Amino acid sequence: MKNNASVVYALFLVVGDFVALACAFLAAYLLRFRILDGVPVAGVSGRTFFYAILTTLPVWIVIHALMGLYSQSVYERRFSELGRLLVASVTGILTVIGYDFFTEGHLFPGRLVPLYGLVLGFGFLVVFRNTARIFRRWLFRYGVGVSDILIVGDTDVAAQLVSDFRATNRTGIRVLGVVGKHGHSVRKFPSFAAALKQLNGSSIHGIVQTELYADQEKNDEILAHARNHHISYRFVPGNADLFVGNISVDLFGNVPMIAVHQTALIGWGRIVKRLFDVVVAALVLVVLSPLMLLVAIVIKLSDVREPVFFRQVRLTRHNREFRVFKFRSIKRGYNCSPEEGFARMGRPDLLKQYRDNGDYLPNDPRFSRIGRLIRATSIDELPQLFNVLLGDLSLVGPRTLVPQELNTYERKHAILSVKAGITGLAQVSGRKDISFEERRTLDIYYVQNWSFWLDISILIRTLRVVFTGSGDK
């Protein structure tokens, strides 16, 4: 039996987005001409404006759909959804402004109304979707909209799925049982046929097969049952690590072949990411150039014998070496690797603490007073924007590696398949609170699951970390 809960929820989001945007533009009009006492453009009344906006909002909803905002894989990931909502909001308002310009009409009764509409629209959408998410989980708690699945297979993956789906009120998935010798804390069945007989097959919404039987007829039986009863069917490959990353299906003659790429950052994705890096890095350098000049002067005056910039050989995509630029924050004599620096000051014991804390040490004795200040505010990272323009770095990516670290990385091929970044998942996930191993895991996750929206969400979270001084857990 097919569960239509996801379709109903997607339709609910469509209606809710439409209402939220309509309310946002109504609020924008009231803010401009009721609260701030503005004078509308001649010939554009509030009613005319509101009716005109209602006719353009379907285009905005289409933009949301093209951005994947009604896809289950997106709206269940809060930060991915947030990044796409921001891009969709900007695209939507620009589309409406463009329509108004090329039709030579007077859609907006004031110049600031589009800006108010953009800000309020994004805000209303975020509030609505978070409220909808809370409401959906409340329904899950009472069994409304929950998908009942049957797991087939005696594997570690089956055990992991049972564990992951245990929080039904969060995932909306309830495991009815496992076909295999081990139930993994849920009901177990000796065979697929026995499961159907005892569960009443009509109550199953989905089947997840974690291993293939040697008897092909058994596999065909499971797939046929799913198709005949309109049940969703998913298969987990035996070597799941092989399929983590970007997957495409190519047809050679009549033979389908699965192409597995180490990262999703290929093709047009790389081009879009590079263009975004160059544009944003150039804009930030222009805007913050006075601040960077001031910081450079202060650093130079603090010690005229030392250079303003710290330069060190690091590794980026395809194991290529380059020199990274940062504002100097370390005292004279310690512009070297952490191992050598702590050894010089006679404190090799601090190295283990430094590594265990994810390359971070509270009150690190190697840093000057000015260095601590610019590191606490991440100002020391700004010169890396020049590395971005030079093509050495990306705005977002895995952390840069020094050549000596390669021996400590078991999956260095994955990390070095993309450009290193100024910021990344590890930096916004609580750098001071996660271990070196956890940071490495986050870097690998980023490489294998890259998307433009993931970059946007990391940049947004980076701003929060910079201004609050803490990362997400």
- Cβ contacts of 428 within 8 Å, gap of 6 or more: 458, 461, 462, 464, 465, 471, 472
Question: Reduced to 3 states, what is the DSSP secondary structure of residue 446?
Answer: helix
| Of residues 223, 228, 224, 186, the one with CA closest to residue 208 | 223
Q: CA-to-CA distance for 217 and 48, rounded, in angstroms?
A: 65
* 289 and 409 part of one domain: yes
Q: What is the pLDDT of residues 282-321, one digit of tens each?
A: 999 999 999 999 999 998 888 777 888 888 888 888 888 9
In a domain? residue 165 = yes
Residues paired with 234 in a beta bridge = 208
Tell me the CA end-to-end span of the chain in Å, nearest whole number.
38
* 137 and 201 part of one domain: no
* 107 and 222 part of one domain: no
Over 60: is that where the pLDDT of 163 sits? yes
Q: What is the pLDDT of residues 345-394, one digit of tens each?
A: 777 777 777 766 666 677 777 888 888 888 888 888 999 999 999 999 99
Structural domain boundaries enclosing 214: 147-238
Question: Reduced to 3 states, what is the DSSP secondary structure of residue 227?
Answer: helix
Higher pLDDT, 345 or 159: 159
Output the furthest CA–CA distance in the chain (Å, rounded).
82
- b (16+ CB within 10 A) / e for 277-310: beeebeeebeeeeeebeebeeebeeeeeebebbb
In a domain? residue 117 = yes
| Of residues 93, 53, 70, 88, the one with CA closest to residue 15 | 70
The DSSP string of 351-382 is HHHHHHTTS--TT-TTB-HHHHHHHHTTGGGT
Higher pLDDT, 114 or 101: 114
Token couple for 373:
């200040």
8 A C-beta contact, residue 450 and residue 263: yes
* 189 and 288 part of one domain: no
Q: What is the pLDDT of residues 108-121, one digit of tens each?
A: 666 677 888 889 99
Q: What is the pLDDT of residues 234-243, one digit of tens each?
A: 888 765 555 5
> Which whole-number Å values give the CA distances from 418 to 3, 170, 274, 407, in the listed order?
39, 33, 12, 18
Q: CA-to-CA distance for 224 and 222, rounded, in angstroms?
A: 6
| Mean confidence (pLDDT) of the chain | 81
* 321 and 374 part of one domain: yes
* 15 and 127 part of one domain: yes
* 132 and 153 part of one domain: no
In a domain? residue 346 = no
In a domain? residue 444 = yes
- Number of structural domains the chain divides into: 3
- The pTM for the full model equals 0.60
pLDDT at 408: 67
Helices and strands in the chain, H and E counts: 17, 11
* 135 and 51 part of one domain: yes
CATH code where residue 223 lies:
3.40.50.720
Q: What is the pLDDT of residues 39-88, one digit of tens each?
A: 555 455 667 777 878 888 898 999 998 888 888 777 777 777 888 898 88
pLDDT at 473: 43
pLDDT at 287: 92
- Cβ contacts of 335 within 8 Å, gap of 6 or more: 310, 312, 328
CB count within 10 Å of CB 433 equals 14
* 383 and 295 part of one domain: yes
